[in-house]
Structure 1
Amino acid sequence: MSLNKKNEISEWYVEHSEAVFNYIFLLTHDYQKAEDLTQETFINAYKFYESFQKNSSPKTWLYRIAHNATIDYVRRRKPLLFFKNLFLAADPTPLPEEIIEMKEEINEIYTILQSLKSSYREVIILRKIKEFSTKETAEITGWSESKVKSTLSRALVAFEENLLKEGYEYEQKVEFYRVKSD
């Protein structure tokens, strides 16, 4: 066992495990499964460390491993709940009734996000929630950059249509929708 390999994977774990867990949790909505898949991600990173070509960042490579582990899980077990954490309160100390209202809105928006097909959910999560670039998203999903862009465009249109169907004005309710593009 290479000490350098062990140290590097340990550093990556410290730096990225929480973000990888959150990404997987967004996809699975299962805390225990997200923990298991996060562990699996870092075990696979250790196993396949030599295949890391360093033409992408360790973070992007880890997300690719997490993506593959999660896709394998999804294929084995359907249906899964997919959602987005929208707790982006402007006021750091909202009133109790505001918290209840935000939770209700978040649950409704989770449901809308869940209604999208899986490729749409994933590209929205990676690009708009996790804020990966188009290139990084392409590396994580194994898609071309043009497929990422076109899928995101279609996903946002579908998401907007579903929001409007539910009576939301997306500019006010969904802050990630208009986040910067590459």
Structure 2
Amino acid sequence: MQKDNIDKLYQQHSQMIYRFHYFRTGNRELAEELTQETFYQAFLSYDNFRGECKASTWLYQIAKNVWRQYQRKKRECYPIEKLLEQIPQEKSFDPLNAYLAKEEKNTFCNALKQLTKEMQEVVILRVVDELKFSEIGEIMNKSETWSRTNYFRAKKKLQEYIDNMESGD
């Protein structure tokens, strides 16, 4: 029965976990490898899953731990700039639009770097992974109110940074 449940979890959540790892690595092969490791760890610890949270939240916790283990082993952090380069460009190439898009990415990248690691994580989980504040709170071992507050504080800081950059301060 356990194998059937893990297969079902994989079918339902593998893309979500893949995106989690891909956003952090910017590398398809590595993201696939870390996704496989996440589900392997889920298989090993499935009997310990008590169902007190959603399965997706439990898998995110495992994915986070797999990511931390990988970082400890490699001691390398993938630069945000490399992640932004992975975003697909428009099909019709216009040099001016390409330059402006690159400038916007650079501004956003620099703004994101101004946030604490926790705020970066909240923004990523909310914007990229489209999670609810309650799910973010569970993943980060914080309350829903904490995740909501930190998200809006992060948005405010990002906007202030971007406004300052645009005004030349």
Normalised by the shorter chain, which TM-score bucket?
0.7 to 0.9
Query: What letter is aligned with 1:139?
Result: E
Matches within 5 A, 1:62-77: 62-76=59-73, 77=75
Confirm whether residue 58 of structure 1 aligns to residue 55 of structure 2.
yes
Unaligned runs of 5+ in 2: none
Is 1:107 the counterpart of 2:105 in the alignment?
yes
Partner of 1:5: 2
* SS of match in other structure, 2:153: helix
- Worse-superposed segment, 79-88 or 12-21: 79-88
Correspondence for 2:25: 28
SS in 2 for 1:16: helix
Change (3 A) 1:34 1:112: farther
Q: Which runs of 5+ in 1 are unaligned?
A: 169-182
What's the TM-score once normalised by structure 2's chain length?
A: 0.77
Task: Tell me how far 1:10 sits from its aligned partner.
Answer: 1.5
**Aligned positions of 1:8-157 closer than 5 A:** 8-76=5-73, 77-82=75-80, 95-97=92-94, 100=98, 103-105=101-103, 107-108=105-106, 109-157=108-156
TM-score by length of 1: 0.72
Length, aligned pairs only: 162
Distance 1:20 1:69 in 2: 11
1:41-83, CA deviations, whole angstroms, 9 ceiling, x for partnerless residues?
1011101101112232222211121122223334552433245
Task: Give the C-alpha shift of residue 137 in structure 1.
Answer: 0.6
Q: Distance in 1 between the 2:163 and 2:88 partners? A: 20
Of 106-115 and 79-88, more deviation after overlay is shown by: 79-88
Letter in 1 for 2:148: K
After superposition, the Cα gap between the structure-2 partners of 1:102 and 1:78, relative to the gap in structure 1 and judged at 3 Å, is same
Q: Identity rate of aligned residues, in percent?
A: 27
Answer yes or no: is the 8 Å Cα contact 1:84–1:129 preserved in 2. no
Say whether the 8 Å CA contact 2:122–2:151 is kept in structure 1: yes
In 2, Cα distance between the equivalents of 1:54 and 1:85? 38
- SS, match of residue 14 in structure 1: helix
Q: What amino acid does structure 1 have at the position aligned with 2:111?
A: I
Shift of the 74–111 alpha-carbon distance from structure 1 to 2, 3 Å rule, reads farther
CA–CA separation in structure 2 for the residues paired with 1:73 and 1:122: 17
Contact kept? 2:115, 2:157, Cα under 8 Å: yes
Higher helix share: 2
